Structure 1
Amino acid sequence: MSSPNFNKVLLDISGELSKDELGRLKFLLGDQVGKRDHERISSGLDLFRVLTERGRLAAANTVYLSGLLRDIHRPDLSDKLLLVSGHGGARGPPGPPEHERARLDAAMLVVAENVGRSWRRLGRRLGVSEVRLESIAGMHPSDLEETAVELLKEWRRSRGAQAQTEELIEALRSCQFNLTADKVEDKLSALASADAHKPQTESSVDPHT
């Protein structure tokens, strides 16, 4: 049974979809729905009703619609949908620990600055699907650095808590991007060194010493 909050988010998403975006969503549906259903979809709400009737959309099952929204380059709407689903798998796997997140953030910047036109090759090595690669390519067609950032965000989302800098470095070396891998390792070493030299906070000092 749908929650009022879930229905409100669907209503908001429907209101934010342009006519062109709705048309692209209908195209992506393909033969997932019949011709009659295609003809009666004239708004986002109509589309959501059809997906619900087909068992492809529910408060705890938003992955399919979320993927469609990403494929039309509306990750903002996709994230909004995943956030409200909240009850398990639809949100995706949890992220890595805070320390590893900081390492991944640093590594992403280095990779984005250096991978250039070879971002697709790295994406395939990281296990990103061709469909997602095509979607990412359309987000920033004239900005390779931002495209690489989107690729690495997608990889991190898909891997969740299993996303590790070591996996990224291994993928870089598998693609023969050894110079970039070296730069990532240098950045991580500098980050570790900076952390090691941070002064202790008051809460970490033993009051009895």
Structure 2
Amino acid sequence: MDPFLILLHSFSSSLSDGELSSMKFLCRETIGKGKLQSLRNGMELFSILLEQHLIARDKVAFLQGLLKSIKREDLVSQLQQFVEEGEVNAPDDQPDVHERRLQKAAIEVICENVGRDWKMVMRKLGISEVKMDRVVAANPFNLREQLAQSLREWQKWKGKDAKVTDLIKALRGCNLNLVADRVEQELSLLNAGTR
């Protein structure tokens, strides 16, 4: 199945009636009034936009404008993620609350203690050179932010499969055992409820 159509389908099911009406109103100049009145859901609107070549997998500016106009920043960011990575992580593909707390604590410790070796750690986690280069370009003089952004990229990429144990394993794989020990210590404090 086409990932772009899957994305549009998920957008359609998350639109309220009011949001759909707003989008239809905004499309009055591009789609005839008669056609617009007969539309019952987002999928029908997206189908017409696809037919008229106003939106496509590699042409999302019109759709982005519509979503921004109805103030659905969550959908705009999903669309941007799709454009950047060619894929979509569904909201149910996120780690549970406990794992996110652990990740946040681990990332804090890693950012404080891993310096210039951060790329080696990211390679162990499977992040591509292209993504790392993009992060460096966005934060050219801030080593800590480069690492933090790269770790966020890893979290987005892995979704619910992003585990703190993978972070510790990557650190140990890079012989950063002291940092790995500090992460484990922080996590045991968190799990014991003293933090």
TM (normalized to structure 2)?
A: 0.59
Alignment of 1:133-172 (within 5 A): 133-172=132-171
Distance apart, 1:112 and its partner CA: 0.6
In structure 1, the residue matched to 2:42 is none
Alignment of 1:98-109 (within 5 A): 98-109=97-108
Return 5+ residue gaps in structure 1 as ranges: 12-48, 63-76, 199-209
In structure 2, the residue matched to 1:71 is none
Residue identity opposite 1:192 in structure 2:
N
In structure 2, C-alpha distance between the alignment counterparts of 1:172 and 1:132, rounded to whole Å: 19
In structure 2, the residue matched to 1:188 is 187
In structure 1, C-alpha distance between the alignment counterparts of 2:80 and 2:147, rounded to whole Å: 28
For the structure 1 residues 123 and 50, does the alpha-carbon distance in structure 2 shift closer, same or farther, using more than 3 Å as the test? farther
For the structure 1 residues 78 and 127, does the alpha-carbon distance in structure 2 shift closer, same or farther, using more than 3 Å as the test? farther
Return 5+ residue gaps in structure 2 as ranges: 27-52, 65-72
Establish whether residue 115 from structure 1 lines up as the match of residue 114 from structure 2. yes
Q: Quick check: 92-101 or 124-133, which moved more?
A: 92-101
Number of aligned residues = 137
Paired residue for 1:56, among 55, 58, 72?
58
In structure 1, the residue matched to 2:37 is none
For the structure 1 residues 90 and 58, does the alpha-carbon distance in structure 2 shift closer, same or farther, using more than 3 Å as the test? farther
Residue identity opposite 2:58 in structure 1:
R
In structure 2, C-alpha distance between the alignment counterparts of 1:147 and 1:84, rounded to whole Å: 20
The percent of aligned pairs where both chains have the same amino acid is 35
Alignment of 1:12-161 (within 5 A): 52=56, 55-57=57-59, 80-82=76-78, 90-93=87-90, 94-161=93-160
Distance apart, 1:91 and its partner CA: 3.0
TM (normalized to structure 1)?
A: 0.55
In structure 2, C-alpha distance between the alignment counterparts of 1:163 and 1:152, rounded to whole Å: 10
